[in-house]
């Protein structure tokens, strides 16, 4: 066979059989969501034979040195990426962000105290409900009346409130803080639920007393929740609460008071290593801005679709959009996308329409494929 014939044969084979690097499906799910391919591969190896120990990570004791080292390395990678100051602890907990809705007020509001909350959607509302069973909540801003389409800016603090709680990115409504609320010069601090935008770009951790985030969007699989807590706050002891609900319990035991979610932490570590290899949080921020910018431009340009989110508050992680009018059923576009391998684009049931979650691990080619589908769909109607 000549060289040209060989090349031709390879092309024909590749045409029929997709090469491993050609992605045929893009997962736009809001969470659990797509993970970097290298993280999935790292997870596979860990399941089969963790660090060449001849044992699967799934069968290893959390007291064994490979696992203790894994936790230390994961914490170290997170600290490096986020440039976490020395006076903060990193905790790997269970119970999801939803458990933090309770742990935060239980630990951080004194008896008869209160906290300020900003209501920017369903997840903030859940945090507020949980806080109300512990202490007084002052809702100092809400965009509820406007369908949570913007981030409230004019917040009037309550004197004596322990902290301000915000949801930095609103997964369902597609809003995101571009500037965090400024604090007065008092003892209060900022608490943020960053479940859906943690690690999407650089962050000044020193502005926060506590940050929490479920892993299953930008970090890894469900099962582990990251907490970053300022060390003085971890020592507070306002009331008698269950041992597992106390931050100091987990600080004292390096997140190993009970059996921790070892496998989930391993996948988080693989994701963190991947983030470091592609230029850290500055690198990913540029990529995220580019992906989101392109998609919002197409939503603006396309005659069929529109965004209901205030332009300056639009999330670079979750991009909801709707049809401009109700002449076409949502399902028609969803099925059109599904056939092209563009999966889980249905908007949250409370909002309707569509939502493209374009977390860190969504490749630019996924966003390009979605834009191409939107354009092709439009051409059917004009
Ligand atoms: N906060 C936000 C912003 C979320 O998006 C979610 C989950 N989608 C949660 C909290 C709840 O997280 P979990 O399921 O980990 O409790």
Q: Are 84 and 78 in contact (CB under 8 A)?
A: yes
Ligand 1, from 214, 215, 347: best to mutate by most atoms within 8 Å of Cβ?
Answer: 214
- Ligand 1 atom at shortest distance from the alpha carbon of 169: 3
pLDDT in the model for residue 184: 75
pLDDT band with cut points at 50, 70 and 90 for residue 24 = confident
With b for 16 or more beta-carbon neighbours within 10 A and e for fewer, the 28-59 pattern comes to bbbbebbbbeebeebbeebeeebeeeeeebee
Q: CA–CA distance from 353 to each of 146, 297, 305, 322, 358 (Å)?
A: 17, 18, 10, 5, 16
Beta bridge partners of 114: 136
pLDDT in the model for residue 185: 73
pLDDT in the model for residue 352: 93
Q: Is the CB of 315 under 6 A from ligand 1?
A: no
Q: What is the mean pLDDT of residues 138-151?
A: 98
pLDDT band with cut points at 50, 70 and 90 for residue 23 = confident
pLDDT tens for each residue of 116-143: 999 999 999 999 999 999 999 999 999 9
Specify the CATH number of the domain 40-277.
3.40.640.10
Residue reference for tokens 């921020």:
285
pLDDT at 15 over 80: no
Query: How far, in Å, CA of 126 to CA of 188, rounded?
Result: 22
Query: How far, in Å, CA of 381 to CA of 56, rounded?
Result: 54
pLDDT band with cut points at 50, 70 and 90 for residue 227 = very high
Query: How far, in Å, CA of 201 to CA of 133, rounded?
Result: 34
Which residues have a Cβ under 8 Å from the Cβ of 118 and sit 6 or more positions away?
124, 139, 140, 141, 142, 151, 152, 155, 164, 165, 166, 167, 181
Considering 123, 274, 313, 346, which one is annotated as catalytic? Answer: 123
pLDDT at 331 over 90: yes
253 is catalytic: no
Q: Give percent above pLDDT 70 in the chain.
A: 94
pLDDT at 255 over 90: yes
The mean pLDDT value of the chain amounts to 94
Going by C-alpha positions, the residue among 267, 292, 289, 302 that lies closest to residue 376 is 302
Going by C-alpha positions, the residue among 180, 228, 219 that lies closest to residue 197 is 219
Query: Which pTM value belongs to this model?
Result: 0.94
Q: Is the CB of 174 under 6 A from ligand 1?
A: no
Query: How far, in Å, CA of 370 to CA of 333, rounded?
Result: 11
With b for 16 or more beta-carbon neighbours within 10 A and e for fewer, the 122-146 pattern comes to bbbbebbebbeebbebeebbbbeee
- Ligand 1 atom at shortest distance from the alpha carbon of 225: 15
Phi and psi of 219, rounded to 5°? -125, -35
pLDDT in the model for residue 186: 79
pLDDT band with cut points at 50, 70 and 90 for residue 183 = confident
Domain definitions of the chain by residue range = 3-33+279-379, 40-277
Q: Is the CB of 124 under 6 A from ligand 1?
A: no
pLDDT band with cut points at 50, 70 and 90 for residue 13 = very low
Considering 92, 116, 217, 274, which one is annotated as catalytic? Answer: 217
Going by C-alpha positions, the residue among 199, 209, 201, 202 that lies closest to residue 164 is 209
pLDDT at 3 over 70: no
pLDDT at 104 over 80: yes
pLDDT at 342 over 50: yes
- Name the maximum alpha-carbon separation found in the chain: 85
pLDDT in the model for residue 8: 41
Smallest CA separation from ligand 1 atom 12, residue: 97
Ligand 1, from 121, 171, 194: best to mutate by most atoms within 8 Å of Cβ?
Answer: 171
pLDDT tens for each residue of 317-327: 999 999 999 89
CATH architecture of the domain with residue range 3-33+279-379 = Alpha-Beta Complex (3.90)
| Tokens encoding 57 | 């990570």
Edge to edge, the sheet with strand 225-230 lists 88-93, 225-230, 208-214, 189-193, 163-167, 114-119, 136-142
CA of 368 to the centre of ligand 1 (A): 27
Going by C-alpha positions, the residue among 267, 316, 326, 251 that lies closest to residue 288 is 316
CA of 223 to the centre of ligand 1 (A): 12
CA of 347 to the centre of ligand 1 (A): 16
123 is catalytic: yes
Equal CATH topology for 3-33+279-379 and 40-277: no
């Amino acid at each position: 066979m000549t060289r040209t014939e060989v090349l031709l044969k390879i092309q024909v084979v590749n045409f029929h059989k997709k090469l491993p690097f050609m992605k045929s499906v893009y997962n736009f799910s809001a969470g659990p969501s797509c993970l970097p391919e290298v993280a999935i591969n790292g997870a596979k190896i860990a399941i089969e034979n963790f660090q060449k120990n001849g044992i699967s990570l799934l069968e290893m004791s959390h007291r064994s040195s490979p696992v203790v080292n894994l936790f230390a390395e994961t914490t170290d990678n997170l600290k490096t990426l986020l440039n976490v100051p020395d006076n903060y602890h990193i905790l790997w907990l269970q119970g999801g962000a939803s458990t933090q809705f309770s742990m935060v007020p239980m630990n951080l509001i004194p008896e008869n105290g209160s906290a300020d909350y900003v209501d920017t959607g369903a997840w903030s509302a859940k945090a507020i409900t949980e806080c109300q069973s512990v202490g007084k909540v002052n809702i100092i801003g809400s965009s509820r009346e406007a369908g949570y389409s913007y981030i409230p800016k004019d917040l009037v603090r309550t004197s004596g409130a322990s902290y301000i709680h915000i949801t930095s990115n609103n997964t369902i409504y597609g809003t995101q803080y571009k500037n965090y609320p400024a604090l007065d010069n008092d003892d209060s601090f900022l608490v943020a639920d960053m479940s859906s935008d943690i690690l999407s770009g650089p962050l000044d951790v020193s502005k926060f007393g506590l940050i929490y985030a479920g892993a299953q969007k930008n970090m890894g699989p469900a099962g582990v929740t990251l907490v970053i807590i300022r060390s003085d706050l971890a020592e507070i002891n306002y009331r008698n609460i269950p041992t597992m609900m106390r931050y100091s319990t987990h600080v004292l035991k390096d997140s190993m008071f009970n059996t921790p979610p070892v496998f989930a932490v391993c996948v988080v570590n693989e994701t963190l290593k991947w983030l470091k290899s592609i230029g850290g949080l500055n690198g990913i921020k540029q990529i995220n801005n580019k992906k989101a910018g392109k998609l919002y431009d197409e939503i603006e340009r396309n005659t069929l679709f529109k965004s209901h989110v205030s332009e300056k508050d639009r999330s670079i992680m979750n991009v909801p959009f709707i049809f401009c009018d109700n002449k076409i059923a949502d399902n028609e576009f969803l099925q059109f996308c599904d056939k092209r391998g563009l999966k889980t684009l249905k908007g949250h049931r409370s909002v309707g329409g569509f939502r493209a979650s374009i977390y860190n691990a969504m490749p630019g080619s996924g966003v390009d494929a979605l834009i191409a589908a939107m354009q092709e769909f439009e051409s059917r109607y004009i």
